[in-house]
Amino acid sequence: MRHVWLLGILSIGLFAANVVQVGDKYKDSGKCKACHSHIVAQWEDSWHAKSHYGNDEYFQKTIDYVARKDNRKSLNTIKIECATCHNPRIAVTSTNAEYEAIAALNLDKDSAASKALRSDTIAEGINCVVCHNIDQIHDELPADKRGMNRVTWMKSGTMTGPYSDAKSPYHKVEQRPFMDNNPNQLCFVCHANDTSEEGLRFVDMQSEFKNSGKACVDCHMGARKEGIAATLRDANGQPHKRLIREHRFIGGHVENMWKDALKVDTRKNGAALEVILNNPQPHALPSGFGSREILIEVQYSGGGKVIKNEALSITTRYLSKRGKPTVPHLAAKIVQSISIPAQGSKAFSLPIPTGSDGATIVVSYRLVNDEIRELLELKDPIWSKKMVIKKVSVKL
């Protein structure tokens, strides 16, 4: 009975992304190793390679948490929603009420959705055939259509890339501007418009982006430099020399990328110490996923002894529709939102204890703030690791 009733009220279809099956010859990065082994090795190091449920503790525990709190949707339905950007080559792109009814009875093991989630096509997360098999990016669509809902795929076996004159014996090639002179368009397919189950847009790297002449790839894939795109030798017995970029997509998880990411100035203002953070980057910091954090820690000293420690957390906090602290993906409301805007600055004021004659200020970054780390019981030390941006000492 419940079955039929659910079907009746919930049959409004979700926007269906088009699915093009990836052929066995191309579906995993192992298939590219024979000729692009250097690129595969760099990509394996990147967090794009970890964007799948099985490979990122934070992602996995967030999905589990959302599924526990949202009793209208099954775990698999949430996984498929998140796959929009985290696993866009998944073969099933939405579920319906009929599926929810079956899943609620634990009878969905052999369903298309369960099979698609188990498939090894998606186990690598954002792999080569996510970016290099896109035919068109549809920026004419509404802003909330992202990931697989914003692109149409190439025929399996055609790779899009930056070169107009490449030839490969293994696959066809086609050049696309989003692989060459307009690469931000590719990044914004997913790095924009992150929205909660309650419809709250919690991050939008596209609207906060200030064009400075540098594209995402200039900083996160490095400058173009001479190298080779493929190790395969041509008729002259040599691989082609090409201008290439790195595929490590270095970002928030990599400590040495944070060094000097912000400029830190200090100023004494009466009985307060002002710490001014300047962000030269073209997007806000923290940005990207919600619940990231920048920490300002100050140690005051006087007469050679430590007098006091002060700390300030620069982060965003979220409340659920019941008013409880929650993860960004269940947020109905933002209660505290601090970040340093793109190419902007912010000043933070801390009281100077009497008797201090100096202070050491350490500005660092953490991937997950205390509130969310405790809520999700994250175990891996990477989530709480303080990555140092800048350390300065001042006389007071």
Task: Identify the residue among 101, 286, 373, 375 touching ligand HEC (CB under 6 A).
Answer: 286
Least Å distance between CB 53 and ligand HEC? 9
Which range touches ligand HEC (CB under 6 A), out of 89-97, 212-220, 269-277, 317-325?
Answer: 212-220
Least Å distance between CB 12 and ligand HEC? 19
The yes or no reply on residue 157 touching ligand HEC (CB under 6 A) is no
Unique residue bearing structure tokens 């998140």: 82
The yes or no reply on residue 169 touching ligand HEC (CB under 6 A) is yes
Residue closer to ligand HEC (CB basis): 167 or 379: 167
Residue 135: how many other CB atoms lie within 10 Å: 14
Residues 102-141 that bind ligand HEC (CB under 6 A): 126-132
Which range touches ligand HEC (CB under 6 A), out of 67-75, 209-217, 298-306, 350-358?
Answer: 209-217
Residues 35-94 that bind ligand HEC (CB under 6 A): 35-36, 39-40, 43, 47-48, 50-51, 56, 58-59, 62-63, 66, 78, 81-82, 84-86, 88
The yes or no reply on residue 193 touching ligand HEC (CB under 6 A) is yes
Least Å distance between CB 319 and ligand HEC? 17
C-alpha 50 chain-centroid distance: 10
Take residue 372 and report the two structure tokens written for it.
């969310």
Least Å distance between CB 384 and ligand HEC? 12
Which range touches ligand HEC (CB under 6 A), out of 98-106, 254-262, 300-308, 353-361?
Answer: 254-262
Q: What are phi and psi of 336, to 5 degrees?
A: -140, 125
Residues 25-44 that bind ligand HEC (CB under 6 A): 26, 29, 31-32, 34-36, 39-40, 43
The yes or no reply on residue 248 touching ligand HEC (CB under 6 A) is no
Residues 287-346 that bind ligand HEC (CB under 6 A): 287-289, 292, 329
Which range touches ligand HEC (CB under 6 A), out of 112-120, 191-199, 301-309, 340-348?
Answer: 191-199
Residue 152: how many other CB atoms lie within 10 Å: 13
Q: How far apart are CA 260 and CA 279, in angstroms?
A: 10
Q: What are phi and psi of 88, to 5 degrees?
A: -65, -5
